[in-house]
Chains A and B, each alone.
Chain A
Amino acid sequence: MCVLLISGKSKEAEIKRINKELANIRSKFKGDKALDGYSKKKYVCKLLFIFLLGHDIDFGHMEAVNLLSSNRYTEKQIGYLFISVLVNSNSELIRLINNAIKNDLASRNPTFMGLALHCIANVGSREMAEAFAGEIPKILVAGDTMDSVKQSAALCLLRLYRTSPDLVPMGDWTSRVVHLLNDQHLGVVTAATSLITTLAQKNPEEFKTSVSLAVSRLSRIVTSASTDLQDYTYYFVPAPWLSVKLLRLLQCYPPPEDPAVRGRLTECLETILNKAQEPPKSKKVQHSNAKNAVLFEAISLIIHHDSEPNLLVRACNQLGQFLQHRETNLRYLALESMCTLASSEFSHEAVKTHIETVINALKTERDVSVRQRAVDLLYAMCDRSNAQQIVAEMLNYLETADYSIREEIVLKVAILAEKYAVDYTWYVDTILNLIRIAGDYVSEEVWYRVIQIVINRDDVQGYAAKTVFEALQAPACHENLVKVGGYILGEFGNLIAGDPRSSPLIQFNLLHSKFHLCSVPTRALLLSTYIKFVNLFPEIKTTIQDVLRSDSQLKNADVELQQRAVEYLRLSTIASTDILATVLEEMPPFPERESSILAKLKKKKGPGTVTDLEEIKKERSSDMNGSAEPTSVNASAVSTPSPSADLLGLGAAPLTNSAPPPSSSGSLLVDVFSDSASAVAPLAPGSDDNFASPDLASSEVVSEEPADTVHDADELFHKFVCKNNGVLFENQLLQIGLKSEFRQNLGRMFIFYGNKTSTQFLNFTPTVICSDDLQSSLNLQTKPVDPTVDGGAQVQQVVNIECVSDFMEAPILNIQFRYGGTFQNLSVKLPITLNKFFQPTEMSSQDFFQRWKQLSNPKQEVQNIFKAKHPMDAEITKAKIIGFGSALLEEVDPNPANFVGAGIIHTKTTQIGCLLRLEPNLQAQMYRLTLRTSKEAVSQRLCELLSEQF
């Protein structure tokens, strides 16, 4: 995009003048006299200029299009220029323009072809792709095409591939494009390399042969005396642009397998590294720029291959030199490249040697983008040996860091401190420091995490209590510190209560002195801390009751605070010490999952950037620190493919006998793990369980399911008619997920049973039951599962399915197990339905209606008219019909609002052809569904199943 900025001193005068001119041009275009080419061109050009001055132009397009068909170069050129600038991709003029372009492409006149190709590349719309994506490859590989046209054609194709990849067909031309890498004209090679690089990313197999060609081309450039390439030598560097492009292309592939090619490439890379050490051939910045552009790209390739330790270390040393270069650009790029280098096991140590330089950069660089890169690099090079130093430096920097990057630094510090903590007192200190220095930037994930870690590690609990107590002494402390302090003292305040300086009453008074300055969620948390104190320190019970009883609590305008005050007060008065001790027991350890902070950083940085690095680092550090590792539950879930995300979504709500109301404002801990399985009873200071009456607090009761009722999960059952994966059943104890696939008359279903509690299930026995009728038409085979399911664990069961003949009912899945002291028994319908054995059939309108007529026997047709249960969205309807298993036939029904489908039901004994037609009536919000099959029962069943879907 080009921008031209112009402004006169008197804007009004300019506008007046231009409006006059526009009126003039308009009258010329509308005038009776036909304009000659020259005048047309003149006025179109004026319009263009006025547009560039910043005024709206809403006419003249037709005149510009007319210019395209002129035989004069100058007229054509202005026409194309106008169109590239002013016609957007939606214009209806596109058709006319396409015609003109088509003529120019066929003209064999290289200048005209060039203009046309440039126009296609600049506009790049889908319409243009539809019109020309087939034509351009031919021009590109034709033997008699001029070099300059080839160049334009290659880039034009690249542009179309980028906007509409589906419209650019691969084919014979691909191999001939690869051979353009051998072309004599370096401009053609450059353009072709750009094209191939992009195509190869999506179709690596198709363009595999480009690797050896690219290597030999690169080798010829790198080893040539700079004069060989004459015009393409740029400030004494031979063809730098092409070298960069070739090195980029090679980064689409792993190191070459052919040893000869590989050797040649290594030689090239070594030569490039060697040249960097030679004295410059020119003092001009262009010379060093071009040389270093190639060098950086070579280093990227070395890092990408990550296979030659020798090269990696040399690359690292080279980047080390750049870190101290006087050119800011080079320092920036060196920091950036080194970041990726740090994750290679071969060069990680070499990168670490530059730590002092990088820290120095953090302190002295004037440019925030460079400092940002330095932070990234410190994060990447961090390991156990230098974590304390790096974290300290980052904290240091945080005090003066730019606001734009503070949150990211906070997350990084929090992650490093956790990952490399040997001594958890250091970790606690670091996080409290973080809150002190940059409290506003400490997100919930960070302080949730410190609490999880303190709760899970009893060696640090006393220290944490002491430290937060001391930190809270500061006259002004950040609210996040009050939250952490409140939570930790509520859990572990007793560990420091022996010291008279931090006696229970002093602890309480300290917290309560902050109470009125805090926001509602923090105050809610503090109230929970107080009730925990009632249990920890009976000696201050009355003090706390007085506070809870005060009007400012009991009559607080905020419902959440009021409710807590009322319930806690009641709990502290009525409940016996034993019950209090049970309800207010210390929080159980949190299940170990991936750090939520890491997840947040990944989200912030976008996928890909952090992940790779983290994965590698995780592997490297796995033996040192288990705490950041996912548990086996998680690991096993990760290995199952996509739909398992659903299956792991075990509810996060705390478990009490009455279903807790959906958590709202005060649910401070619920989100800690994205898929938290936090179970059971003890009251977390942050959780907002509602105690309707104290006796309910006696926790851990789960009512037994009546053994003989099948779960009324019809709604869930019907959801599975049109899909194969998801959650079939869920209660407070157990979640059942499904994943299934069907082919012809066979199928396989994976059932996942997830234990949502932290207690083992014993004698766990799921059974699939078929009624007598069903047994003859459906064969099901299952394997027994392990009778013990650990808390938080998931087990899997496979059901092999064979459909013998058509059937009506669904099998029942019965599950029995012991949880705690109680026997559990539940049954759900297993969604194996007749439509699962559908194979879609495509057919023409004529065929469809012919068959439709053949099935006109009244017994073969079943019709149902019903009210829409969901919004009547055509796209959703289509998706459901396809999900149902039949083919969705377009342009068959004369009324385009109707949906028509066809398919064959496969059973072992027979195949049944099915036709269906769904007619929506938007006004009445009704549907009419008609099924015709050769068998009445099948029509009946399919109609029943499908009617439930809309």
Chain B
Amino acid sequence: HRASGTWVLRAVHPRVLALASLQAEEVQQQIIRETFHLVLKRDDHICNFLECGSLFGGSDYKLIYRHYATLYFVFCVDSSESELGILDLIQVFVETLDKCFENVCELDLIFHMDKVHHILQEVVIGGMVLETNMNEIVAQVEAQSKLEKAEGGLSAAPSRAVSAVKNINLPEIPRNINIGDINIKVPNLSQFM
């Protein structure tokens, strides 16, 4: 299996998350690696839920994922969430990305990670669902863009910063990842329940 860039949205009850963030990167990376192995080996016609091991906080938690072309969107939720509801939420998130980026592709996610993050922040904060109405989310995101433009002059800031990063001159724009040897970082972004 090859997937060139994966967004894993991890959604955990804060209790577990607190633990995860305390135990820092090794554990987080282990979680990510585990998630990969669990999700990637599944073919498309089996169910989108799977029970996770102790790493994810035990039997009360499920991984719920959706597969779009080369991307997997994975949420980890406890039993207080509706499974199908989460599938819907992933769909809403993806549709919103699509609207905001006009035909979203992986590179958008990679090079506009700040924007993606802000979109996610409009859907989910602190592990909890904030908004499910796509129009509302898009409106919020657009309002932000307007603010950015209004402050303009100097900026279009994040995008400039990002292009600055682009010019760091990475040997090649990454296309394929080899899960085996990659150094995975899990930033402690929105923790999800």
Is B47 touching A331 in the complex (CB atoms < 8 A)?
Answer: yes
B55 touches A (CB below 8 Å):
no
Of A84, A187, A244, the residue contacting B82 (CB under 8 A) is A244
Interface string of A367-405 (1 = CB under 8 A from B): 101101000000000000000000000000000000000
Q: Which of B106-123 contact A (CB under 8 A)?
A: 109-110, 113-114, 116-118, 120-121
B69 interface hit (Cβ, 8 Å): no
B161 / chain A contacts, CB cutoff of 8 Å: 41-42, 45-46, 49, 78
Known: A328-B46, A606-B59. A191 touches B130 (CB 8 A): yes
A846 close to B (CB within 8 Å): no
- For chain B residues 85-122, which have a beta carbon within 8 Å of chain A? 85, 87-89, 91-92, 109-110, 113-114, 116-118, 120-121
Contact present for A163 and B14 (CB under 8 Å) = yes
The contact string, 1 if C-beta is below 8 Å from chain A, for chain B 128-156, is 11111111100010011001100100110
When the two chains form their complex, are residues A194 and B170 in contact, meaning their CB atoms are under 8 A apart? no
Taking a contact as CB atoms under 8 Å apart, the answer to whether A5 and B6 are in contact is yes
Contact A73 B144 (CB under 8 A): yes
A579, chain B: closest CB distance, angstroms:
54
Q: A2-B190, A159-B14, A606-B59 are in contact. Are A118 and B162 (CB under 8 A)?
A: no
Interface pair B59/A14, CB less than 8 Å apart: no
Judge if A476 is at the interface, Cβ distance under 8 Å. Answer: no
Q: Which residue of A248, A331, A369 contacts B80 across the interface (Cβ within 8 Å)?
A: A248
Asked if residues B133 and A187 are in contact (CB atoms below 8 Å), the reply is yes
Check A290–B49 contact: CB distance below 8 A.
no
Closest B residue by C-beta to A251: B80
**Cβ of B122 to closest chain A Cβ, rounded Å:** 9
Whether A187 and B48, one on each chain, are in contact in the complex, defined by CB atoms closer than 8 angstroms, is no
Q: Are B126 and A124 in contact (CB under 8 A)?
A: yes
Specify which of A52, A73, A155 is in contact with B130 (CB 8 Å cutoff).
A155
Does A48 sit at the interface, judged by CB under 8 A?
A: yes
Q: How near does chain B come to A647, taking the closest CB pair, in angstroms?
A: 32
Known: A4-B113, A52-B185, A605-B59. A296 touches B126 (CB 8 A): no
Kindly list chain B residues whose C-beta atoms are within 8 Å of the C-beta of A242: 132
A111 within 8 A of B: yes
Within 8 A of B (CB), among A1-51: 1-11, 13-14, 17-18, 21, 38, 41-42, 45-46, 48-51
Residues of chain A contacted by B154 (CB below 8 angstroms): 38
Of B121, B168, B188, which is within 8 A of A1 by CB?
A: B188
The reply to whether the CB of B189 lies closer than 8 angstroms to some CB of chain A is yes
Contact A124 B49 (CB under 8 A): no
B1 at interface, CB cutoff 8 A: no
Chain B residues with CB below 8 A from A21, complex form:
168
Give the distance in Å from the alpha carbon of A148 to the alpha carbon of B123 in the complex. Answer: 12
Q: Are A45 and B162 in contact (CB under 8 A)?
A: yes
* Segment at the B interface, from A85-93, A664-672, A928-936: A85-93
Q: A1-B9, A155-B126, A329-B84 are in contact. Are A84 and B189 (CB under 8 A)?
A: yes
Residues of chain B within 8 A (CB-CB) of A548 are none
A-B contact count (CB 8 A): 284
How long is the Cα–Cα vector from A45 to B151 in the complex, in angstroms? 17
Which residues of B159-180 are within 8 A (CB) of A?
Answer: 160-162, 164-165, 168-172, 174, 176-178
B47 and A121 form a contact (CB under 8 A): no
Interchain nearest-CB distance for B161 vs A (Å):
4
Q: Report how far A813 CA is from B133 CA in the complex, Å.
A: 73
Selected contact of B129 from candidates A122, A156, A194, CB within 8 Å: A194
A333, CB-defined interface residue at 8 Å: yes
Within the complex, what minimum Cβ distance (angstroms) separates B38 from chain A?
Answer: 11
Interface string of A849-861 (1 = CB under 8 A from B): 0000000000000
Q: Looking at the complex, which one of A11, A77, A122 makes contact with B190 (CB distance below 8 Å)?
A: A122
Contact B126 A17, beta carbon cutoff 8 Å: no
CA distance A248 to B79 in the complex (A): 11
- Which residue of B has the minimal Cβ distance to A84? B189
* Number of A positions contacting B (CB below 8 A): 91
Q: Is B34's CB within 8 Å of the partner chain A?
A: no
A8 touching B170 in the complex, CB below 8 Å, given contacts A3-B187, A51-B187? yes
A residues within 8 A CB of B168?
A: 17-18, 21, 46
Residue on B with the closest CB to A72?
A: B151
Which chain B residue lies CB-closest to A369? B50
B84 cross-chain contacts in A, Cβ below 8 A:
289-290, 292-293, 296, 329, 333
B37 lies within 8 A of chain A by Cβ: no
**Nearest CB in chain A: distance from B42 CB, A:** 8
**Contact yes or no, B91 A155, CB < 8 A:** no
- Whether, in the assembled complex, A74 has its beta carbon less than 8 Å from a beta carbon of chain B, the answer is yes
Within the assembled complex, what's the spacing in Å between the Cα atoms of A542 and B24?
A: 68
- List B40-68 residues whose CB lies under 8 Å from chain A: 45-51, 58-60
**A802 CB within 8 Å of chain B:** no
A689 within 8 A of partner (CB)? no
Q: Which chain B residues border A162 with CB–CB below 8 Å?
A: 13-15, 193
Interface presence of A231 (CB below 8 A): yes
A702 sits at the interface (CB 8 A): no
- Docked pose: A220 CA to B27 CA in angstroms: 46
A491 at the interface (CB under 8 A from B): no
With the chains together, A81 CA to B157 CA distance in Å?
A: 14
Question: Which B residues lie within 8 Å of A78 (CB)?
Answer: 114, 157-158, 161
**Residue pair A290, B88 in contact (C-beta under 8 Å):** yes
Query: Does A45 contact B46, Cβ atoms closer than 8 Å?
Result: no
Contact A328 B47 (CB under 8 A): yes
A167 CA to B126 CA in the complex, in Å?
Answer: 17
Most buried by A among B50, B120, B140, B190: B190
Q: Does A832 have its Cβ within 8 Å of any Cβ on chain B?
A: no
- Cβ of A190 under 8 Å from chain B: yes
The reply to whether A8 and B171 form a contact with Cβ atoms under 8 Å apart is yes
Given A2-B187, A4-B113, A297-B82, verify A10-B5 contact (CB < 8 Å): no
Complex contact A17–B189 (CB within 8 A): no
Chain B residues with CB under 8 A of A9: 171-172
Cβ of A152 within 8 Å of any chain B Cβ, yes or no, is: yes
Nearest A residue (CB) for B20: A1
CB pair A241–B85 under 8 Å, yes or no, is yes
Which of chain B's residues have a CB closer than 8 A to the CB of A197?
A: 80
Interfacial chain A residues near B60, Cβ < 8 Å: 606
Asked if B186 and A3 sit within 8 Å, CB to CB, the answer is: yes
* A118 and B125 in contact, given A4-B110, A234-B88, A333-B84 (Cβ under 8 angstroms): yes
A52→B187 contact, CB < 8 A? yes
Contacts of B7 in A (CB 8 A): 2-4
Complex alpha-carbon distance, A48 and B114, angstroms = 9
Query: Could you tell me the distance between the alpha carbons of A152 and B18 in the complex, rounded to whole angstroms?
Result: 21
Chain A residues whose CB sits within 8 angstroms of the CB of B193 once the complex forms: 162
Q: Complex: how many Å from CA A10 to CA B173?
A: 11
With beta carbons under 8 angstroms apart, the residue of A49, A120, A367, A370 that contacts B165 is A49
* Complex interface bits, A233-264 against B, C-beta within 8 A gives 1, otherwise 0: 01000001110100010000000000000000
Interface flag for A366 (CB, 8 Å): yes
**Does any Cβ of B come within 8 Å of A430's Cβ?**
no
Contact, CB under 8 Å: A286 / B133: no
Q: Known pairs A46-B161, A89-B21; list 20 more (Cβ under 8 Å).
A: A1-B10, A1-B190, A2-B120, A3-B10, A3-B185, A6-B110, A8-B172, A10-B171, A11-B181, A17-B169, A46-B164, A74-B158, A121-B125, A122-B189, A122-B190, A152-B130, A187-B133, A234-B88, A241-B132, A366-B46
User: Could you show 24 A-B contacts with beta carbons less than 8 Å apart?
Assistant: A2-B113, A2-B120, A3-B7, A5-B177, A8-B171, A17-B170, A38-B157, A54-B184, A54-B185, A73-B144, A85-B188, A88-B21, A122-B191, A151-B131, A152-B130, A155-B126, A190-B129, A289-B84, A289-B87, A289-B88, A293-B82, A332-B49, A369-B51, A605-B59
Taking Cβ atoms with an 8 Å cutoff, the residues of A that contact B are 1-11, 13-14, 17-18, 21, 38, 41-42, 45-46, 48-55, 72-75, 77-78, 81, 84-86, 88-89, 111, 117-118, 120-122, 124, 148, 151-152, 155-156, 158-159, 162-163, 186-187, 190-191, 194, 197, 231-232, 234, 240-242, 244, 248, 286, 289-290, 292-293, 296-297, 328-329, 331-333, 366-367, 369-370, 372, 605-606, 609
Q: Which 4 A-B pairs have the closest CB atoms?
A: A121-B126, A293-B84, A45-B161, A159-B126
